[in-house]
Structure 1
């Protein structure tokens, strides 16, 4: 009889835990209002969250040093050189002239254009008497090669081509 009594008691206790309508998402932890801020409580309204509002990030003016670039040409040698990412216009022009002189075997060179926080390119083309002309451009990234070619054509040249591809002097956070 004791055995029968223990079996009946065991079956009754199993039946108590086998509730088919039990919803695990409605348990004690899910209904705890302290968990509203974490999104665990589906019963929380959006306005009653106990989580603090997110902090606003305030950006202050960040001073990024400008970068300069320059192009220099030796008309006598038909040579062009450039320099990029210098701290001043003068420094960029000096370096461009120095590189031009080195590449043109010390012929006279002259700085022809410069840029601050932008890009440079140069093109050459042929005019009627078979002389070449040089056209340079300075401006925003991705535009200067087309501008140099257009400047070349605007000066009456044909067979315009890029001889100094786009090079950029752009500021960067350190």
Structure 2
């Protein structure tokens, strides 16, 4: 019953508020329009004044989230590879990938095959003219790198394309 009374009083007050306009009242904008004594169009805002504490514009806040890098290195002669994830720079990621690939010098020399920033990487291989070819796929979101690597392999005309290194990601931490 209290709710019904509250709704009734609210509607009644709105009705009184709107009817204090001698012409046409637009409840959305709160503007009253009518013709004055000399025939000219008069309009005024009947909406209640807004508090000075209320701000009508949005404020943009920039948050600096450091990027994360990853890299993949491989020894072209042996095919042995290694990678690095979640490094603070491209140089650090490449250095760590080479270090991981070389296993303390036992697999030297390794070279960086691919690097990525704020994303994911996967590696696919396929046969072309009896040789294995390597394809790197990357993606900005989890789940995109492996399909990208397979697409590159198949688009090259290679056969027996398959993922040889599952997707790995280096994403910024919020």
Quick check: TM above 0.5? Answer: yes
Structure with more of its chain in helix, by fraction: 1
Q: What is the root-mean-square deviation in Å for CA atoms of aligned residues?
A: 3.0
Task: List runs of 5+ in structure 1 lacking aligned partners.
Answer: 1-24, 32-40
Deviations 1:15-68 (A, max 9, x none): xxxxxxxxxx249xx86xxxxxxxxx43453898xxx89888745101100111
| Residue of structure 1 equivalent to 2:140 | 140
Alpha carbons of 1:44 and 1:148: their partners in 2 closer, same or farther (altered >3 Å)? farther
Residue ranges of structure 2 left out of the alignment (5+ in a row) = 15-50
Q: 1:163 to 1:54 in 2, by over 3 A?
A: farther
Determine helix, strand or coil for the equivalent of 1:42. Answer: helix
Structure possessing the higher radius of gyration over alpha carbons: 1
Per the TM alignment, residue 81 of structure 1 is displaced from its structure 2 partner at its CA by 1.9
Q: Count the aligned residue pairs.
A: 135
In structure 1, the partner of 2:66 is 65
Secondary structure of 1:45's counterpart equals helix
* SS, match of residue 153 in structure 1: helix
- In 2, the alpha carbon distance for the partners of 1:104 and 1:78 equals 15
Q: Is this contact kept in 2: 1:66–1:87, CA < 8 A?
A: yes
CA gap 1:125/1:111 in 2 versus in 1, 3 angstroms: same
TM-score, normalised with respect to structure 1: 0.65
Shift of residue 154, structure 1, vs aligned partner? 2.5
| Bigger strand share | 2
The answer for the alignment partner of 1:15 in structure 2 is none
- Is the partner of 1:78 in helix, strand or coil? coil
Question: In the alignment, is the contact (CA less than 8 A) between 1:149 and 1:160 conserved in 2?
Answer: yes
> How far 1:83 sits from its partner (Å)?
1.1
The CA distance in 1 between the partners of 2:62 and 2:108, in whole Å, is: 45
